[in-house]
Structure 1
Amino acid sequence: MALESKICGVSDRAAIEAAARGGASWIGLVFFPPSPRAVTPEQAEALAAATPAGLGRAGLFVDPDDALLERVLARVPLELLQLHGSEAPRRVAEIRARFGRPVMKAIKVAQAEDLEAVEAYAPVVDRLLFDAKAPKSMAGALPGGNALSFDWRLLAGRRWPRPWMLSGGLKAETLAEAVATTGAAAVDVSSGVESAPGAKDPALIAAFLERARSL
């Protein structure tokens, strides 16, 4: 089975075109203004319209209220809602039921105990995403996209009740090790294909996806 890849935090057509050429399965649009990758609903509408058939559109939200989700979904045909904040399982279930879209919940990992959250979220999501938890000492840390990885050995040999993606500090040079260690069938990259925070580099996207195709 081919490795499924998501290029998250795209904000221009060049990144979308590179993702499509490289065989990505998903692009991610970030609706979290503090992020350097954030787009407005209006910008996202244009980007979604430029996304070729077969390339899924995910929207990344951080503790969104219903008004924000309604505003975005009125303009942007998202196929997946990625929740990357501190949303409780009950809130995740509410969003999934109300908006009728598949939901992926990020589980932030620094130690083995962090994986215990899967038990509560698995019944109310369609997918899980394992990302690195930023240390409390990290200045300006975002909910994701901090170019941090976690100890991939924490996922080795584990099985989960939902499909899942691996994220957190991935790049072309480390992808093979990450996949071999964790057994991931799907990966999510953002900072690892950027020339600067928020600036996706088509060449880095191409290199990452070429490596992904080889695995």
Structure 2
Amino acid sequence: MTRPLIKICGLSTPQTLDAALDAGAAMIGLVFFAKSPRNVPLDQAARLADRARGKAEIAALTVDADDGLIADIMREVRPDWLQLHGSETPERCAELKARHGVKVMKALGVSQATDVEKAAGYAGVVDKLLFDAKPPKDAVLPGGNGVAFDWTLLRGLDLGVPVMLSGGLNPQTVAEALRISGVNEVDVSSGVERERGVKDETLIRAFIAEAERAGEETR
């Protein structure tokens, strides 16, 4: 395993953003979904993106967003990635990728092997696949719920595009998740929060340190 690619998602303050950057996060995520406690207004997101630009890649997380919102995000925030976390089809992913000239990451919910198999339809279209645990039945958010799935489902998976793991990750579980899944990219949101929607600088640093330690041990 090479050095893991680590994404800290749902950042909303300069202090927590700086903690992620200083600790070595390769990607940061900004959430544009009104129902999420991590949702950030465009002007706030633009300032955070400018702070991160050139230090880490910037992902804009949307959930079945309309063309107007995505156009606004691309103009104001200028992200490197669109992270599509809703029910977007491969055709929708291809459309947005072509229209905006941006890299696309499609998030897919997983609870069983057949959910992973569905990823094949996106593999030739998107630039990255993110596998997250399917949300609980009463959840209002498609991700960031702090639940995990069977990480062995990703072991040996080769879809021709990079694969990122999310769901149930925190400083205590990330090393095991990397080892069991065999992936080399991880994404965390609720696992580095001291309360829902509020990131913790110490937890961010601990998460990145544990992920990097796991990568060192398997080289």
Verify same fold: TM over 0.5.
Answer: yes
By how many angstroms is 1:151 displaced?
0.8
Mapped to 2, the partners of 1:108 and 1:74 lie a distance apart of 29
Q: Per-residue CA shift, 1:102-129, capped at 9, x if unaligned?
A: 0000111000110121111111100000
Mapped to 2, the partners of 1:129 and 1:99 lie a distance apart of 20
Contact 2:35 2:140 in 1 (8 A): no
Q: Please name the residue that 1:197 is paired with.
A: 196
Once the two structures are superposed, the pairs formed by residues 1-215 of structure 1 within 5 Å of their partners are 1-51=2-52, 53-136=54-137, 139-215=138-214
By how many angstroms is 1:199 displaced?
0.2
Q: Per-residue CA shift, 1:15-59, capped at 9, x if unaligned?
A: 111001110001100000100000011110111122252211110
Contact 1:61 1:83 in 2 (8 A): yes
What is the aligned residue count?
213
Q: Per-residue CA shift, 1:62-104, capped at 9, x if unaligned?
A: 0111110111111112001100000011111101110110000
Letter in 2 for 1:41: L
Structure 1 SS opposite 2:147: coil
Mapped to 1, the partners of 2:53 and 2:117 lie a distance apart of 38
Letter in 1 for 2:110: V
Q: Which moved further from structure 2: 94-103 or 41-50? A: 41-50
Contact 1:20 1:52 in 2 (8 A): no
Contact 1:30 1:38 in 2 (8 A): yes
Contact 2:103 2:126 in 1 (8 A): yes
Mapped to 2, the partners of 1:174 and 1:130 lie a distance apart of 16
Letter in 1 for 2:120: E
By how many angstroms is 1:157 displaced?
2.4
Q: Extract structure 1 runs of 4+ deviating beyond 3 A.
A: none
**What RMSD, in angstroms, separates the aligned Cα atoms of the two structures?**
1.0
By how many angstroms is 1:135 displaced?
3.2
Structure 2 SS opposite 1:67: helix
Mapped to 2, the partners of 1:210 and 1:116 lie a distance apart of 32
Structure 1 SS opposite 2:202: helix
Q: Please name the residue that 2:217 is paired with.
A: none
Q: Per-residue CA shift, 1:119-157, capped at 9, x if unaligned?
A: 111111000000000132xx2331110111101111122
By how many angstroms is 1:159 displaced?
1.9
